Every structure is written in C-alpha cells, then in structure tokens.
Amino acid sequence: MDNSIRYDSPNMGGVTLSAQVGMNDPRKTITASTFAIVYARDRIRAGLGYFRQSTASNYDPATQRYDPNRLKTGNLTTLTGAFNYDFGAFTLMTMAGQSRYDLYSLGERVSSTEWSIGASVPLGQWVLKPSVAGSNSKRLPKSDIGAGMEAIYNLSKRTSLYAAYSYSYYGELLHGQPVKSSYIFATGVRHFF
C-alpha cells in the first residue's frame, strides 16, 4: 500500500504477526489496513489475513452515468487463508478467501469467493511456476478465472531472467457486456540488491 506503515513481530516459534495501515487519500486519513498471522516451520507455511479498504464512486446505478456531485463511499473487506507445503520436488501453494464490497454498478453490497492453486517447481537453474485462480459471486451470473505460467532462469543468486504468460476470462456480464478475455505476456530481468 502507498504511504503506509507496517510492523512485523519477531518470530515466535514459527508464528509471525503483522499489521499495516495505509493513508492513500489527500486528507491523510487511514483508508486501508491489513492484519495477518503466518506460521512457517519445516515444510509448512500457512497464514490467515484480513484486508479492509475504503472505496468511493460517483456512479449512479439509476441513470447508469457518472455524477461528480454524487460521491458515494463504501468498503472492501477480504478474509483470506493460505497453505503452502514443500514436497521437495515442488512446493504447492493454495489460497481461499471471501470478499465483501460495495458494487456501485449494482447499487448494493455483494460478496464473492476467491481461490487459487499453484506450484513452484525447481529444475536445476530453472524454476517453473504454473497457477490457476478464480472468483465467483452468487449475485453475478458468471465466474472469473485465470491461468498463468512463469519460467525463471537463475543466472546467479541475485539475478534471473523470466518470461510469463497469463490468460484471464471475465464473466460478470454487467449491463449486457459480452464475455471478455485477456492475454498477457511479459519478459524481463530481475536483480536483487
């Protein structure tokens, strides 16, 4: 989060607590906060996190237009659990959560469930990272889903080359919008100082 302060506790038997607050608007008020507990020991890494963010919109669902004189505020809250396990040959990474938010285009508060599953597979100097993720809301007629693959080639302990490809399918169909999909390809160099 921009303009934020974060605290991470010392490791207490594999358990770490963290909190972060962000001041993202010109009034410098707290507009976002997150709290998490993480357990990491041996091959297991698991955590539970809570995120809350203030939102604002001048969209009027009655007229389906944006009215600069009618600013509405709301909140986005997310509760997420994650579990990773290192099998040696690869690491399995999973996540599940639920979000509640003010959807201004519908003029109501809705909820959605999110999930993801992925892996990190080291192969010599290479690391492959396949993943798939999705979200679903009972208020919306379709689900969102995406899949991706990243290939990393380690040149040294600090420098690596990477290439990534992802495909996403957007199925909200709000206001008669057609189903949309997107493709992203990225490549680059990472260096850790």
Please list, residue by residue across 3-42, b when 16 or more beta carbons sit within 10 angstroms of its beta carbon and e when fewer do: eeeeeeeeeeeeeeeeebbbbbeeeeeebbbbebebeeee
| pLDDT reported for residue 74 | 82
For residues 39 and 80, give the distance between their C-alpha atoms in angstroms, rounded to a whole number: 14
Sheet order of strands, 15-22 included: 4-8, 15-22, 32-41, 44-57, 72-86, 91-103, 108-123, 126-136, 144-154, 159-170, 180-191
pLDDT in tens, the chain (193 residues): 778 899 999 999 999 999 999 876 645 566 889 999 999 999 999 999 999 988 878 777 777 788 878 778 888 899 999 999 999 999 999 999 999 988 776 677 888 899 999 999 999 999 999 999 998 877 766 678 899 999 999 999 999 999 999 998 876 544 445 567 889 999 999 999 8
Residue 52, judged by CB atoms within 10 A of its CB (0-12, 13-18, 19+), counts as middle
